[in-house]
A and B are shown apart, each in its own frame.
Chain A
Amino acid sequence: MVDLLGDYTIRMVTIGSAIVGGLCGALGSFAYVRRQSLVGDVVGHAALPGVALAYLISQSKDLAVLMLGAGLTGLLALAVSILAVRYCKMDQGTAFASVLSTSFGVGVLLLSLIQQTHAADQAGLDRFLFGQAATLVEPQIITMAGVGTGALALMLIFFRPLVTLSFDPSYSRSTGLPVVGLESILLVALVSSVVVGISVAGVVLVAALLAAPAAAAHRWCTRFSTLVAVSAAFGALSGATGGFLSSTWANVPTGPLIILILTGLVIVSLLWGRRRTEPREVPS
């Protein structure tokens, strides 16, 4: 085991996946109690126009630049869908699906423009969306860890008001909390974790990285702060296990393996978990 961890690829893949799993698990619990578990899917698709724009403007395929672009359009898409829910009497799923397909369409339009003008140089832009945990290298992990620490720090600094906001928006408004500011902070943290997640698991699987750990953790605890911790632990554990196992089994891709391990955790939790009640801010 120690010997295997000495191997560069195994170490990178395991560490990288654990970071991403933990981060998405922690912030996913906020999405879970707000019934917005599918934000991962929306931000993932909305990242495509961002990646294309970032490349068009900067002319580089630097990971940090692409991540920034992806994050900005992801944030925009999420904001638009939340506003649509609030002001256009649209239900959340409809808003999410509309924004998702629209922004992805714009992304493909931009990509085909890029393909016509920058022939060979653009290869692999769309690869950003598929995520290949197996190809993680040290500089990438440092970038990811940086973004992740930022998002976690935001969450921890504003933990109490964010929890109040997520459980009781009308109460928060009446007590004079800066609701719009807090909501923006939460969205920024969520979007950053999704963008980091994409580079490991890809657009499709990042949805599960957000949704599954919290759903599993919910069965083992009632108090919300515990839920966040357990969910982060589940995420990190599946990330590390998936990363490690895929490095030793031939031909098994890393991202999907992590998701299957997470799914296994959810099944076990649903069958044998203790709690059957809704999560609460504090135990009653």
Chain B
Amino acid sequence: MTSSGWVVVIILLTCVTCSLVGCFLVLRRSAMTADAVSHSVLPGIVFAFWISGGLNLFSAFLGAVGAGALTVGLTKWLTRFKLKREDAALGIVFPALFSVGVIWVSVAYRQVHLDTDAILLGEVLLAPFEQLQIGTTSLGPVSVWLLGPLLVLATGYLKLFQKELILESLDPSFAKVSAPAASQIGSGLTLLLCLAVVASFTAVGVVLAIALLIVPTAVGRLWTDSLRLLIWLSVGIACLAGGLGLFLAFGLNLSVSGRKGKSSLSPPMYWRSILRATGTTRRNAG
């Protein structure tokens, strides 16, 4: 397959995975977690670098997922026992972790090319060239191998525990009584979320990943109150926007996901199409 073909596959995989997981994220009213994780992965990557003593995409990935899980865990703990406010808890936890990362880098690795970009600034146009190799044979892009199994895992998990997850998102106290395992299942979702978020960061970059997690569901929510329909709608919207964006990007020769700044990354064309979709739906709903 040509690399352009792989780009389409990677984009569609990301769209489906993100919108699927994002549905439950929005349902649990913790959409901002996605943005928080995008900043707080930094110390995780630095930690991985320190432990493994060198550049290594695999350990950086694990470090990032770990830092993401730590963010969610700390926020949950603060919200439940100390602050009683999720927004403030999140607003304290992720800048603190990010600060630790920046100070660590500035003091210890000032001159080292740490390659935080490798996790945060995914570039979908280059993703096809990063092949998974065993021995000398190439087995296709790493991103496909990351996102594909993840999509299967996510679909299976969400399908299997759908009832508990919905219950836990909508009425946590009732869930505790009626389904004792609900909170563990919720934590499983958190881990799944961190995996999906970090994997999409490496494939398409931070901003596009956040957008694909939240916006399709937010738009779909304006159309329907039924959860089943919402899931289908958001997956459909994500694919449509992704496809349209890609089409325009290839047509106009623009970059698909920008490579800019510390944690900033985005897909101009997607954005336009999603914006347009949001605009029309809002009008219809309002």
Q: Which residues of A contact B (CB under 8 A)?
A: 32, 35-38, 40-41, 45, 48, 84, 87-98, 100-102, 104-109, 111-112, 126, 129-130, 204-205, 207-208, 210-212, 214-215, 251-253, 255-257, 259-260, 263, 266, 270, 278
Contact = CB atoms under 8 A, between A and B. Distances in A.
Interface in B249-268: 254-255, 258, 260-268
A98 B218 contact: yes
Contact of A101 (B106, B215, B222): B215
Interface residues of B, number: 63
Contact of B91 (A37, A256, A257): A37
A45 B88 CA distance: 18
B32 to A, nearest CB: 5
Of listed B221, B268, B272, B278, residue having the most chain A CB within 10 A = B268
B26 interface: yes
Of listed A48, A256, A266, residue having the most chain B CB within 10 A = A256
B20 interface: no
Interface in B89-111: 90-92, 94-96, 98-100, 102-103, 106-107, 110
A263 B266 contact: no
Contact of A105 (B29, B98, B271): B271
Interface stretch (B47-55, B129-137, B204-212): B204-212
Contacts of A278: 84
A284 B233 CA distance: 49
A41 B32 contact: yes
A37 B258 contact: no
Contacts of B90: 37-38, 211
A97 B44 CA distance: 23
A93 B260 contact: no
Contact of A256 (B102, B254, B278): B102
Contact of B39 (A89, A94, A101, A204): A204
A97 B34 contact: yes
A253 B262 contact: no
Interface in B202-244: 207-208, 210-211, 213-215, 217-218, 221-222
A205 B214 contact: no
Nearest to B30: A93
Of listed A45, A252, A259, A278, residue having the most chain B CB within 10 A = A259
B106 A253 contact: yes
B231 to A, nearest CB: 15
A211 B91 contact: yes
A210 B215 CA distance: 25
A204 B218 contact: no
Interface in B269-286: 269-272, 274-275, 278, 282, 285-286
B32 A96 contact: yes
Nearest to B221: A90
A243 B89 CA distance: 24
B91 A210 contact: yes
Nearest to A84: B282
Of listed B95, B106, B217, residue having the most chain A CB within 10 A = B95
Contacts of A214: 88
A109 B271 contact: yes
Q: Top 4 closest A-B pairs, CB basis?
A: A211-B91, A109-B268, A208-B95, A256-B99
Contacts of A36: 87
Of listed A37, A94, A106, A107, residue having the most chain B CB within 10 A = A94
A102 B92 contact: no
A88 B260 contact: no
A41 B218 contact: no
Given A41-B32, A93-B86, A97-B32, 19 more contacts: A38-B91, A41-B91, A90-B218, A91-B31, A94-B217, A100-B35, A101-B208, A102-B211, A102-B274, A108-B258, A108-B265, A204-B94, A210-B91, A211-B91, A215-B88, A251-B106, A256-B103, A256-B106, A260-B103
Contact of B271 (A45, A87, A96, A106): A106
Given A37-B88, A215-B88, A252-B106, A88 B31 contact: no
A83 to B, nearest CB: 9
5 contacts: A35-B88, A94-B217, A106-B268, A108-B258, A252-B106
A105 B268 contact: yes
A92 B32 CA distance: 9
A205 B95 contact: yes
